[in-house]
Structures are given as structure tokens and as C-alpha cells.
């Protein structure tokens, strides 16, 4: 059991596309204690990037569209106020990092007052899609967030967060079409939501507003909604 949990945190999912999540779905509470865990499964919005070959010349840009994907989240407590975290959204890079709660009680003891936490996560992946042309690329990502929560009752919480993220892709096409593919984005997201907790289950709904500033593609803003179900012990 513990070997499986440990390997889940160390593994990095296979990123097959340039996908940027719009929701964060991270709570301000650490799991609490030592070697306790939280597992979450959800649905959330993300931006999907595809290569635009219409211009006919390298470097080829990416065009983006909004889609939805399945999200996964895991946290393993090292001590009362700090967790190691792992997150992944469909076909995007996995992020491994930490959550430090510096105000309020942990999830296992929560139910009143304010909670406040800082999160940081980093990830990357290399992938090759065979065909004609063959597409080989590297993706890197970083996410920093400040997350606040307030318990209205012992089982009902409202929360808000601000996050800053960067995603970048460097790729190459080889074959019938050849050339470089690259882009990077700076993302700022404000999110608000609510959670209902009846141990060992937690249900969350989140609304987010994101501003994405691309290096080559057109800058854009998005409003999105995500939801998740988590189990913790």
C-alpha cells in the first residue's frame, strides 16, 4: 500500500499534448499528522494546444481551444502542516510539489475559522509521436499559489486562491513536414469555491478566472468551472 502511494508521488504522467489547466482545485488544509493521505478525482477545464501548419513556415505556432479533462490529485503528509503533492490533468504534464499550511487546523482536525496555505509544484515531460511527420517535444511547467479557506460550519467551507503558473513547449517536426514548434505562457488565476466535508470524503466546486499571456499565440482570458471528489485518512 505505502509502496504504491510512494511510487505515485515519484512518477510523472506522460504529457502527449500542450495542455494548460484553468482550475486548481487545491484546498488550503494539509492532510495532517504523518504519512496520511488524500486522493482526489475531478473534472475541470483546460486549454488544448495544437500545431498550426497553415502558415507553411517554421517555427510553427500553436492554436488553442478550451476543453475539459479528468484531474487527479494526491497528497501525502510528512508532518502536521506539510504535504508532498502530485497532480495531473488529462494529457498534460504531471506536477510534483508541496503544500505548507501556516494558518488553521489540518484537514483531519478542521471545521472552524480560517485556513491559509502556500503551494508550489513543478513538472515536465519529453514525448515523441511517431508518424509522418514525427513530432518530438519537451514540456515544462511551474505553479505557485496562495490558498485561503473559511469554515462556515464544521462541514461547509468556502475558499479562494490566487495562482501564478508558467508552461512552455519546445518541439520539432521531422519527415514530410519539418521545423520547430515552440510557445510559452504566463498564467494568472483567481478562483473561488466551496467544499463540503463529511470524513473521509470531500466534495469541491470551483469557479476560476484566468489570464493567459502567450509568447507567440494571442493572449486570452477564460472563465471556468471544476469539481472534484476526494478521499482522505
User: Does the pTM exceed 0.75?
Assistant: yes
pLDDT > 90 in the chain, percent:
64
Q: Which of 12, 13, 15 shows the shortest CA–CA distance to 169?
A: 15
What separation in angstroms does the CA of 13 have from each of 75, 131, 136, 185?
16, 22, 16, 21
Give the pLDDT confidence score for residue 122 in this predicted structure: 97
pLDDT, tens only, 112-170: 899 999 999 999 888 888 877 888 889 999 999 999 999 999 999 999 999 999 999 99
Domain 2-232 top-level CATH class: mainly beta
Q: Give the pLDDT confidence score for residue 6 in this predicted structure.
A: 40
Amino acid at each position: 500500500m505505502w509502496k504504491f502511494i510512494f511510487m505515485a508521488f515519484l512518477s510523472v504522467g506522460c504529457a502527449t499534448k500542450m495542455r494548460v489547466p484553468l482550475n486548481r482545485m487545491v484546498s488550503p488544509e494539509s492532510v495532517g499528522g504523518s504519512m496520511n493521505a488524500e486522493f482526489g478525482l475531478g473534472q475541470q477545464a483546460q486549454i488544448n494546444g495544437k500545431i498550426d501548419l497553415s502558415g507553411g513556415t517554421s517555427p510553427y505556432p500553436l492554436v488553442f481551444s478550451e476543453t475539459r479533462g479528468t484531474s487527479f490529485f494526491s497528497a501525502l503528509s510528512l508532518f502536521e502542516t506539510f504535504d508532498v503533492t502530485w497532480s495531473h490533468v488529462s494529457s498534460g504534464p504531471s506536477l510534483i510539489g508541496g503544500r505548507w499550511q501556516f494558518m488553521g487546523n489540518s484537514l483531519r482536525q478542521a471545521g472552524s475559522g480560517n485556513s491559509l496555505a502556500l503551494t508550489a509544484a513543478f513538472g515536465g515531460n519529453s514525448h515523441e509521436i511517431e508518424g509522418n511527420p514525427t513530432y518530438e517535444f519537451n514540456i515544462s511547467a511551474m505553479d505557485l499559489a496562495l490558498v485561503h479557506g473559511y469554515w462556515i460550519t464544521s462541514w461547509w467551507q468556502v475558499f479562494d486562491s490566487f495562482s501564478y503558473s508558467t508552461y512552455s513547449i519546445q518541439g520539432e517536426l521531422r519527415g514530410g513536414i519539418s521545423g520547430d514548434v515552440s510557445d510559452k505562457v504566463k498564467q494568472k488565476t483567481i478562483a473561488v469555491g466551496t467544499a463540503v466535508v463529511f470524513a473521509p470524503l470531500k466534495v469541491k466546486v470551483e469557479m476560476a478566472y484566468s489570464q493567459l499571456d502567450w509568447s507567440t499565440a494571442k493572449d486570452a482570458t477564460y472563465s471556468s468551472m471544476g469539481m472534484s471528489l476526494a478521499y482522505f485518512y
